[in-house]
A and B are shown apart, each in its own frame.
Chain A
Amino acid sequence: MARQPAGGPATLPQAPARPLVIQLEEVTKTYGSGEAAVHALRGVSLEVAARDYVAIMGASGSGKSTLMNIIGCLDVPTTGRFFIDGIDSGALDESQLAVVRNRKIGFVFQSFNLIPRMSALANVALPLAYAGVGQAERRRRAEAALALVGMESRMGHKPSELSGGQQQRAAVARALVTAPSLILADEPTGNLDTRSSHDVMDVFDRLNAAGRTIVVITHEGDVAAHAKRAIRVSDGQIVDDRRMADPDGYPPLWRQGEPA
């Protein structure tokens, strides 16, 4: 059931000082109007604190993609309010939303969505270019991010020269290069084989262990098993919200020192 935004019976043992990265208040989203209206979200309230690792699960058509678009500031709620890092997304215009997407959110998509003509390094450096970071600094940070996902040896390769797992790791590097408040992954293993999926999820575990807030949208149980908290969405509403590990602790499947 949807939890109340402020206060409420805390199923989460969180310290009051811990900032909320995501806060949804009775968010609805309706496409179309009149009889043809589709209610993708029917009043979702959700809070995600910093350092948490949340899996949002649901069948196709459950509204989880709409939820992801709203959390990712790609779309705005029809009613209700959405705060990212305490900023009300409804109060922002298109250019401010672009800045929020750039600074606060790192996207990882199912189909990788790297730009085909550009090398892995250039792809990773792109968000920094839009953030106005200087060229030398950009290169340094992009290289560091690629090293973090184990891609240091393939930085000059174009996406077409990389395997699916490598492309997705480059996409993860692009998501974290701006040091965002939230890494938002939409079915990150949907197009990957078991082994590559494992690699990518290990990278997420490691990033969360290092203090990153992560939200993964998935329909696979073994992907959700990596998270500290699993939320199930059905028919536009949250139907289940399960805590699986301490939000301040390490991710459940992460083993310290394990090579990614």
Chain B
Amino acid sequence: MSPWEVLSFAAAGLAANKVRSALTTLGILIGVGSVILLVAVGNGSSQAVQASLQGLGTNTLTVLHTGAGGFGPAASRSSNQAPKDLTLADAKALLAGSGVKSVSPVVSTSETLTYQGASHTVSSFTGTYPSYFEASNSPIRKGTYFTNSDVLNARKIMVIGATTATDLFGSASPIGQKVYVGGVPFTVTGVLKKKGSSGLQNADDTAIAPLSAIEESLTGYGTLNNIVVQAASPAVVNTVQSEITSILNKRHGVTSANADFQVLNQATLLSATSSTSHTFTVLLGAVAAISLLVGGIGITNIMLVTVTERTREIGIRKAIGAPRGAILGQFLAEATLLSVIGGALGVLAGLIGSRFTIVGVKPVVVPSSILLAFAVSVAIGLFFGGFPASRAAGMRPVEALRYE
């Protein structure tokens, strides 16, 4: 018998019990579909987290002031070494690092902006250098950035975030308008592109002005909140981190054990998050795999019923000379056909399901999960169909014929 005939025999066998076959197929369908869909959801959420982290800027390191002097007990520091603040001089010293592309000193304060009676409190009113826009991955949508000469001259101009723009100006264009910050007028020169919120902080609720302008009118000269350092390439980020650490250690007269600053590495954060979301994906996949296994057991169950039901038919086939292999092949083919159809429909269902947003996550299908889920479903048909099929093939014709 040709393989084609074996298949058509199997299809006829399944068609004899359409509802039962359909329900068994459904088990595999759900298993395969959920493997594909849940892995896609896990993958999608991991990509969303990574994208929002990348929105913070890649290749960047943030130097923060830690007043308590690292995590060590205060007593471990000698008394003549009071924690030193981050200063503009510190920032300029960091430019000496070999892999450093730019250094942006940052002062940040929460201020209320008013425009023609409307007022809005920004969570971070940031004063910095123009290089900050690139380092923090904040491209402009409308208008212009401020320049180094604006910083030198302490011009009262600013670039605002998308949320700030709509809150203050509604649909009107903010470019060229004067906004009062603590009584000081600032002219809006540009609006940033929408970033979307990342975590608790709304990245679009911001205003950025030249460092000197804010220091002059609002915060006074002296302390920086942080320093954003951009590395030349992803490869040198770690080198730059250690350079920064050693430069600041020297300047502040501290060691790594009692440092009064902390360097945050965006890449480290990224890899920590992605390993978390990887675990999440694996867990989801495992849950789905269990449902696929249950679907496989469903196949065994239904094939056992089928074999018992068709005992007499098996006896007839054996009496007219069907070899063991033909009977084995027939029932294996039926089981495998069930799982292949279920698997194919499951892939379809998984792909359709992953087009929708699920609990706020846009699923991203992993191609290898499709291949794996489908292959596993076929293997399940062969494996779980094997026991009933070998039971059928091992029947003795006399007893099988006597079966009513």
Contacts and interface: CB of A to CB of B under 8 A. Distances in A.
Interface class of chain A by DSSP: helix
Q: Which of B312, B313, B323 has the most C-beta atoms of chain A within 10 angstroms of its own C-beta?
A: B323
Contacts of B323: 95, 98-99, 130
B398 interface: yes
Contacts of A94: 324
Interface in B300-320: 312-313, 315-320
Range of interface residues on A (Cβ < 8 Å): 20 to 34
A102 B135 CA distance: 82
A127 B1 CA distance: 11
Interface residues of B, number: 23
A113 B2 CA distance: 25
A117 B316 contact: no
A230 B46 CA distance: 85
Interface class of chain B by DSSP: helix
A174 to B, nearest CB: 7
Contact of A113 (B16, B312, B325): B312
A101 interface: yes
Nearest to B319: A107
Contacts of B5: 129, 135
A116 B398 CA distance: 19
Contacts of A72: 319
Given A113-B312, A129-B5, A95 B321 contact: no
Contact of B398 (A74, A95, A98, A118): A74
A138 to B, nearest CB: 10
A129 B329 CA distance: 14
A98 B316 contact: no
A75 B398 contact: yes
B379 interface: no
B1 A115 contact: no
A174 B397 CA distance: 18
B96 interface: no
A69 interface: yes
B319 to A, nearest CB: 5
Interface in A159-174: 174
Given A74-B397, A115-B313, A107 B16 contact: no
Contacts of A69: 398
A117 B119 CA distance: 82
A72 B396 CA distance: 13
A114 B325 CA distance: 21
Contact of B320 (A95, A116, A126, A132): A126
Contact of B321 (A101, A115, A118, A135): A101
B12 A127 contact: no
A198 interface: no
Contacts of A131: 321
A113 B315 CA distance: 9
Q: Which of B5, B313, B321 has the most C-beta atoms of chain A within 10 angstroms of its own C-beta?
A: B321
Q: Which of A94, A114, A174, A178 has the most C-beta atoms of chain B within 10 angstroms of its own C-beta?
A: A94
Interface string B11-26: 0110010000000000
A114 B5 CA distance: 19
Nearest to B394: A94
Contacts of B315: 113
Contacts of A178: 321
B319 A117 contact: no
A116 B313 CA distance: 9
A219 interface: no
Nearest to A112: B316
A41 B60 CA distance: 94
A139 interface: no
B317 A126 contact: yes
Nearest to A104: B321
Interface of B: 1-2, 5, 12-13, 16, 312-313, 315-326, 397-398, 401
Interface of A: 69, 72, 74-75, 94-95, 98-103, 107, 109, 113-118, 126-127, 129-132, 135, 174, 178
Given A74-B401, A130-B326, 18 more contacts: A94-B324, A98-B318, A98-B321, A98-B323, A101-B321, A102-B322, A107-B320, A109-B319, A113-B401, A114-B316, A115-B313, A115-B317, A117-B12, A126-B320, A130-B1, A130-B320, A130-B323, A174-B320
